[in-house]
Amino acid sequence: MSLNSIGYLMKEAGRSLWRNSWMALASVSTVTIALFVLAVFVVVSVNVNHVTAMLESQVEIRVFIKPHVDRRRELALMQEAKTWPGIRKIQFFTKQQAAEALKQEFPDQHTLFQLIQKSNPLFDGYNVYARAPSDIRTIAGHFARQPIVHNVVYQGTVVKRLTRLATVLKWSGWVVEALLGVATLFIIINTIRLAVFARRREIQVMRLVGATNWFIRWPFILEGLTIGLMGAVAADAAVALGYHWVLRQAAVSLPFWPMAGFQVVLLHTTVFTVIGGLVMGALASVVALHRFLRV
Amino acid sequence: MIRLEGVTKRYPNGHQGLVNISMTVHRGEFVFLVGPSGAGKSTLIRLLYGEERPTSGEIVIDQFRLNGMTWRQLPRLRRQLGIVFQDGKLLPTRTVFQNVAFAMEVVGASRKDIHKRVPQVLELVGLARRRDHYPEELSGGEQQRLGIARALVNHPSYILADEPTGNLDPETAAGIMKLFQEINRRGATVVMATHAKDLVNQMQKRVVVIEHGSIVRDDAKGVYAYES
C-alpha cells in the first residue's frame, strides 16, 4: 500500500468520525465503561496476587500456647522444636509482648488497649520461621500435635483462601466483561454501520472503479480501532487517577496492607485495556462491514 | 475482446433475464444494445462488469474469465472498465474535480498523477471551467459529462454505458454521443445500452437488438429497429 493511500485512509477515517461525532462519542463512552470495569478487575486481581506472593514469601508460622501453661514447659518445647527439621528460627513471645506488638500495629485503637490492659486475652507463643514454604505444613502439624499448643496459624490457610478468591475474581471478572463486551460491540457496530451508510455512495463508486475491498474496509476498521483506543485511553486515565487516590488513602488508613505498586498496576491495566479496546473496535468494524461488501 | 457464449441469466422472482446470449465485441468497436425496456440490456451490462453472475454460459473480457471470478479478482477487471450510468452516481459533497480525483485516489494513484490527469479528462469532456462546482450546480448534460470523465480517468480499455442519455434533451444527448464517439476514436471499446433512436441511426455503428432476453438482430451498421 502506497503512502498516498495511507494518507487517504487516515483522512477518511477522521472525516467519518467527525461527521458522526455524537455517535462516536457514545461509542467511546461505552468502550470506556467496559474497559474501566475490566481495569478495575485487573487492579483488584493484581493486588490479590501481590498479597499472595508476599505472604508466600514469608515462611512464618505462629504457634499459640494454651493459657495457664507453665513457662518452663513452654521453653522446653521451644528447645525441642529447635531440633526439628526445616526450622530456621524460633522466637518465644509472651502475651504481654503480643499486646505491645498489637499496640504498635494499631496505634489508634485506644479502647482496645484499655481492654487488653485490664485482662489480657492474648496468648504466649512462638514465631517459627521455616527454611522453605514447603516445610510449613509439616512443621505446623508437629506443633499442632503437642498437648500444650492451643492452635497453629500459618499463612498457608490465608494463601489458600487468597488463591481461591483470586480465581473467583478472575472468573466473575471474565463473565461480567463478556457481557459488557457484547453490549459494547453492538454499539460500535451500529456506529460503523452508520458511517458505512453515510458513505454508501462513495462505496458504490469505489467498487465500480475497482478499489479493492480492503481499501474500502480500511477507513472503517481504522475508525473502529480509533474508537477502541480512545476508550482504552479514557479508561486508563480514570484508573490511573483512581488508583493513585486509593494508594494515598491506603497509605494513611491501611498502612500495614501491602498494596501493589502504581506502575505495576498501570502496566497491567494498560495492556488489558488497549488490547481489549483494539480487539473490540476491529471486531465491530469487520462485523459491521461483512454484509455490506459482499460482491 | 469481450466474448459471451450461451449466457443465460435467470432471476428467482421471474424477472426477465437473458436467454442463451452469444456475441463478441472486438477491441475498438462501438456497439449499441437496443430493445424495449426490460428486454435485458441492463442485465447484460451488469453481467459485463461483474455485478451479477450468469446462471450458465461463459463471459470472457480480455484475460478475465468472469464465471469463476472471486471478489478479490473483481477490482482488477473493473480497472479495465469505465462504467457510465443514467443517473451518473456522482458524489454530491464533492466538487467536479474531487469527483473525478476520487476515482483515482481509491485505486492508489499519486497526488501528482491526479493533478496531472484530472484536468486532462475534464478538458476532454468540456468541464474544465466547472472544476470547482458541485454536481447539483451542473446541468443534466454536464452531470453526465462528469460521470463520463470519472469513467475515463483511469484509462479503461472498455466503456460500458447504461442509458447515458436517458434523461437528456435531444441536443444535449447528441453532444454526449459525440463525446462517446471521440472516446471510441481514441481507442476505447464502447458498449452502450440506449433508447436514443435518432442518434443510433445517425451513428452507423454496430447495433445489437435484444428482445425478451435474446439477441434478435446483430447488424454491423445497423439501425434502431425492433418489434415492440
How far, in Å, CA of A124 to CA of A131, rounded?
23
Q: Using one digit for the tens of pLDDT, what is the confidence trace for B127-155?
A: 999 999 999 999 999 999 999 999 999 99
Chain B positions touching A213 (Cβ under 8 A) are: 71-72, 75
**Nearest-by-Cβ selection for A4 from B78, B110, B154:** B110
Contact A205 B91 (CB under 8 A): yes
Query: What share of residues in chain B are helix, strand, coil (percent, to 5)?
Result: 35, 25, 40
Q: Is B209 helix (H, G, I), strand (E, B) or coil?
A: strand
Contact predicate A167/A127, CB 8 Å: no
Instruction: Locate the chain B residue with the closest alpha carbon to A203.
Output: B106
Contact A215 B108 (CB under 8 A): yes
Closest-CA distance, A289 to chain B, in angstroms, reads 15
Q: Is A74 helix (H, G, I), strand (E, B) or coil?
A: helix
Q: Using one digit for the tens of pLDDT, what is the confidence trace for B93-129?
A: 899 999 999 999 888 889 999 999 999 999 999 999 9
Confidence of residue A175 (pLDDT cuts 50, 70, 90): confident
Place of cell 482504552: A232
Burial of residue B108, with CB atoms counted within 10 A of its CB: 0-12 exposed, 13-18 middle, 19 or more buried:
middle
Identify the CATH number of the domain defined by range A60-154: 3.30.70.3040
Report phi then psi at A101, rounded to 5.
Answer: -60, -40
Closest-CA distance, B130 to chain A, in angstroms, reads 21
Q: Which of B191, B120, B194 is nearest to B158 (CA)?
A: B191
CB-defined contacts A:B, below 8 A: 63
| CA quadruple A208, A212, A218, A219: dihedral, nearest 10 | -20
Chain B positions touching A206 (Cβ under 8 A) are: 106
Per-residue pLDDT for A105 more than 70? no
Chain A positions touching B109 (Cβ under 8 A) are: 4
ipTM score: 0.85
What are the residue boundaries of the structural domains of chain A, listed by start?
3-55+160-290, 60-154
Contact A295 B77 (CB under 8 A): no
Beta strands B214-219 and B206-211: pairing type? antiparallel
Residue A106: CB partners within 8 Å, gap ≥ 6? A112
Place of cell 476532454: B124
Confidence of residue A191 (pLDDT cuts 50, 70, 90): confident
Confidence of residue B61 (pLDDT cuts 50, 70, 90): very high
Q: Is A90 helix (H, G, I), strand (E, B) or coil?
A: strand
